[in-house]
Amino acid sequence: MAENWRRVESLVKPVEVDKNSTASGVYVRKNIEKITTQTETEEEIEKYSYLECLMTPEEYQSYELSNNIVNTVLDKDISPEGQKYESDLDEPVLYTNGLYYKPSYINDYKKVMDDVKTALDILEKCGGETTQIIGMKVTVYDATGLPANARQMSIAEIIQLYFFLYLKKEELYNTYKASKAGETEEE
C-alpha cells in the first residue's frame, strides 16, 4: 500500500514515531515545524505543522528499513541523540536584536555570503568600489516569518548573525557529541 501523508497541525509538539496511540498501526511524522500564527483575536500562538502517515506495522518496518539505508548512505545519525540535535537546530534562539532565529538558518546565510563574495569579486575585477556592497541592506525575517518581525540588515550584520548562529550550532553539536559519548560509555 502506498504511503498516505497528510498535512497536520497541533498545539503540542508530536513525537516522530508513535506506536502507542492506536492499535491499528504506527503514526509516523516528518517535516515537523514550529510556527507562530495569529488567532482571530490577533493573539500570537505557537503550533506545529507536519506531515503524518498512519502505517501498518509491516509498512512501518519497510519504511524504517528504507530510511536506515538512506541515512547510512547520507551519513545521518538516526539515533535519539541525532534526532534531538537535528530538532534543536530548528529551535529558535534569541539574537541581540531581540528576535529569534534558527541555527539551521546558517545554510541560507552562507548562500547569501557566497552570492556577496561573487558580487565583490566581479566588482573588484571591474575596478569598482566594494565597500558599498557591505553596507547594502536586505530584509531578513526572524523565525516567526511575520512581516512585523522583519528587519533591514546590512551584509555586515548578516555576517554577524551568521557567526552567532554558527557558534550556537557548534554548541549544540558539542552537546550532541557529549551525549553520544555518554551513551557509548554506558553500553
DSSP state for residue 47 in the 8-state scheme = E
Q: Which of 116, 140, 144 is nearest to 130 (CA)?
A: 116
Where in the chain are the domains? 1-76, 78-187
Strand partners, 47: 35
| Tens digit of each residue's pLDDT (9 = 90 or more) over 42-89 | 899 999 999 999 999 888 888 887 776 655 555 566 667 777 888 898
The three-class DSSP label of residue 45 is: strand
Q: Which of 14, 37, 50, 34 is nearest to 93 (CA)?
A: 34
User: pTM score, two decimals?
Assistant: 0.55
Q: Could you identify the residue written with the cell 514550529? A: 34
Query: In angstroms, rounded to a whole number, what is the distance separating the alpha carbons of residues 164 and 183?
Result: 29
